[in-house]
Structure 1
Amino acid sequence: MSEIDFFDARLVDGTGTIITLDNGDVDDISINYSQGAGVRALCNGSWGFTSVEGKFDLKNVIKSAKELSIQMNSYSPAEKIELAPVEAPVVRNAPVTKINPKDVSIEEKVELLKEIEKHARVDGVKSTNVMYAESEMIFRYCNSEGVECEYETIRTGFAVTAVAAENNKYQVGRESRFGVCGYELFDDHNAYHLAESAGKTAVELLSAENSPAGNLPVILDQELAGVFVHEAVGHASEADLVLEGNSILKDKRGESIASPLVNVIDDPTLHEYGYFPFDAEGVQSRKNTIIKDGILNSYLHSRETANKLGGIPGNFRTQGYSLPVVRMSNTYIDNGESGFEEMLEEMKSGVYLMGSRGGQVNTGEGIFQFNAEKGYLIENGEMTTLLKNVSLSGKTLEILKNVEMVGNDLKMHSGRCGKSGQLVPVADGSPHIMISKALVGGV
């Protein structure tokens, strides 16, 4: 196998538990065990990849990946791939689990979820759903350069959804918390209060007014601004998309692409949901400043893209033992100096958008559309009328340039990010931000 230039292997062992309640009744309890490996081999410019589940002989899996890469290279030779050099990682400052979820019985977990559901069922709420999830995963990595490393993570979280109905009209409220932690998550967050908030939001939105439409001054809360920076900026900074020509940020490194107030960071070392001590290539995790004082500073890289574009690797990720791709971790707009009340006073009139109900983004064209959970009219520097069906859309680079104030109240939110058919844990966040002009839509 002298024709092989490089190989590496990712081995994953883990257990996961999911409990769901539908209208207070147990709908599903599932406990899953996963074991497997994913192996890559590089021959000149061709990658071979093999994955296995269950029990396996790693030497045979590596052999299969090597044979595939050699075959690929013989059938369709490609330009030789060079990988950016790296040193073996050191796992340090890992999150500490205070209460292992395995030490809490299923019965206790179900009872807690039932209490959470009761708090979500405020007057006017017609249906509820509560979900609990936990996972314990061991990741091992080795490669032909002699790097061997491993780490273990425990993740825990819950989500509660409430649906209110009146006169054939429906509105939804949702709250969730997920973290790289154990069952102490429920000590750190008031789940009952969050459930009540979800229920109250759903009910209040039944009588809310539709949002005005047009190009308006807006303030985004921490959650929606975090979704914006993740979807519209973070994905566009992923170097594989840049190389494919599917990013509005291609060839813009070193250029001013945002207001000087804007600093965007991706940091897998933070003890947030997207934490990892080393990535799927065994590269030490590190804080990565994507935008610094409005200037595009860096893309997110694998070893291959870092060598091609010039950069530092460390953002190659995978779901389980699938083929890794360039991914974000904990991505956020860093704190500025403004207070929320200052923003209201400065804006005078406009719209305040809160929360997120998803949306879509085209990283190649640099356009996006997001739906807020709710909003408020801002009149004479004060929040007034509650709004429903609020959307935000526009061109990514225009919105970045239109940021006029950045708050000092950064908050992070957790979730899972999809790319290449895979989901990985991430977190995103921001302080409040004020934008001079954005396209707001209402129904």
Structure 2
Amino acid sequence: MTTPGGITIDPALVDLYKDLHRHPELGFREHRTAAIVADRLRASGFEVTTGVGKTGVVGVLKNGPGPTALLRADMDALPVREDTGLDYASTATATDEHGGTVPVAHACGHDLHTTCLLGAARILAADRSGWTGTLLLVFQPAEELGAGAQAVVDDGLFDRFPKPDVVLGQHVAPLPAGKIAGHPGPSYAGSDSLRVRLVGRGAHGSMPEASVDPIVLAAATVLRLQTVVSREIPSTATAVLTVGSIHAGDAANVIPGHAEIQLNIRSYDTAVRRRILDSVERIVRGEAATAGAPEDPTITEIERFPVVTNDADALRTSLEAFATWLGQDNILDPGAGAGSEDVGILATSAGAPLSYWLLGGADPSLFTTGDMTDPALLTVPSNHSPHYAPVIEPTLPIGVAALVTAARTWLPSTH
């Protein structure tokens, strides 16, 4: 396969991608994937270190004096049952933290990210005449948990390996394949996921007067939470509060003793985030007090992602390089997105600018205008959907070419 930029892609990458897609692994359990990554990096001539941040893999390739560019790919999958109908669809399962069995699938495209970076690594290692400096490749675990980037940093990423002058990366998205998109400044929202446990008093369904019904309490709490964004956040601010899970009871004629709510908050501004978190705590505790709950509710953080901020100059440098072979019409600005990522932790921890872009991965025939106004953006399967799967051609070759181009742009040859 040859990209529009004239970079030849090893056809065997398709087989690698399908293999990784068939064998997804949850965060901090990417043992098989990490072993494949390590073997391929060694074969390409990289110095390889495994077990960074539990299951992360770091590859270093020095090619004379010059800056250091960090290229990052995430490796983990999701507890989602794939429903794509592909002949290489995942049927994998895993054991969750409660001892139950959950389906696992690469419903976010991290298998593509891993394949693209391995493809780029081989090309850059095979032809070192076009760049000088140091390549620092980070195959990161547990992005979906919001914990992987911090784990590799805490494991000494920037003490044990060269500190980068730039952090580069990409994420496949439900944009038309053949397009690349990037937004300067705050680009991806900060995210806070919380678990709320509401304690009531159980009773027989025929004797509600003997209970403090946690289901009614949970329902009142959910409704009141919906007013936080609409009534407490300025109309000029951007924020989302979603209750994604509510569970209580196991029988129709039994009032249970407790209820659990899981919710997610998306925001870009630290003051807005703090206001929402404070409001959530006030509402949860206030509704419990109003209901006469026998115990205070508990609010536990499940995961947190900081806001991802693209350095405007760094992103512009990468996108301009892509435009030279992909065409300016195929470079889009998607605006700030409500999705979340932990790649920014790598950049802020290193004190380096971030250049992070979206790689179109959806069937182009499904789109009409092919830009950010296209109505298909609301209908094509998106990341985390059981139906999500990027089209391999041209997504894979363009993804490899983008990483190669970015690396050569930031590590220019002095010859």
Q: TM-score, normalised by structure 1?
A: 0.28
Higher relative contact order (CA 8 A, sep 6+): 2
TM-score normalized with structure 2 length: 0.29
Which of the pair is proportionally richer in strand? 1
